[in-house]
Amino acid sequence: MREIVLDTETTGLDPLRGDRLVEIGCIEIYNRMPTGQTFHVYINPERDMPAEAFAVHGLSAEFLSTKPLFTEVVEEFLEFIGDAPLVIHNASFDISFINAELDRIKRPAIARDRLVDTLLLARRKHPGVSNRLDDLCSRYSIDNSRRTKHGALLDSELLAEVYIDLIGARQSQLILASETRESRAERTGDMPRRQRETPLAPRITDADREAHRAFVATLGDKAIWNEFLGAA
């Protein structure tokens, strides 16, 4: 099954108050394994960058002023995600910004029934504790040392690893690998062998056997065939 792990960065917290999308990062996974296919783009928000948002992701208005508008990248983005489920941490936040941008250019919104919210999954599995992305990385021993600032592509890469652990897919893969290498081999060795009720008739004639003995005799006394002939 194809899924897309997605993250965004923005100018703030509320698209209804003028905050805009500034970065999208996506990781493709297939059957819960990253394929190496990614989508990443910075977006010109056509507005200033509040200091609070800049402190989170480090993307300045000056840097973003040379980047494409959302309308210039939307086709490539929609083509990449296709109709796959979207795996997002705190999905309602990211999808509200994406749908706000789609609404501005009169494009259909992304349906919320496509969303897999890893924050909700984490809260069910680990109730009563913090389930931020950094916390989940620590819980599952995932190296997030590169995450000095929020970044959509890096956060998507980390979330893809967290998601695989969160749903138990990594453990299932390890169990399956162990099953394939060890258990199956052991069971195969213990399986009873079926015997024919009537043995097949031999296809080797007495003449064939004599010809073979004559050939082995030409190989000398140390030929390994002499051991088999002696046992016979």
Which residue, among 58, 89, 83, has the nearest Cα to 158 in the 3D structure?
89
Task: Give the dihedral sign, CA 210/214/215/220.
Answer: positive
Instruction: Report d(CA 71, CA 63) in Å as an integer.
Output: 18
Which residue, among 65, 54, 51, has the nearest Cα to 9 in the 3D structure?
54
Instruction: Report d(CA 64, CA 22) in Å as an integer.
Output: 8
> Nearest 5°: CA angle at 94, between 70 and 81?
65
212 is catalytic: no
Put the strands of the sheet holding 33-42 in their side by side order: 33-42, 21-30, 2-10, 86-88, 115-117
- Tokens, residue 146: 């590169």
- Tokens, residue 157: 């890469």
Of 40, 57, 89, 150, which one is the catalytic site residue?
Answer: 150
> Nearest 5°: CA angle at 82, between 107 and 94?
65
Active site residues: 150
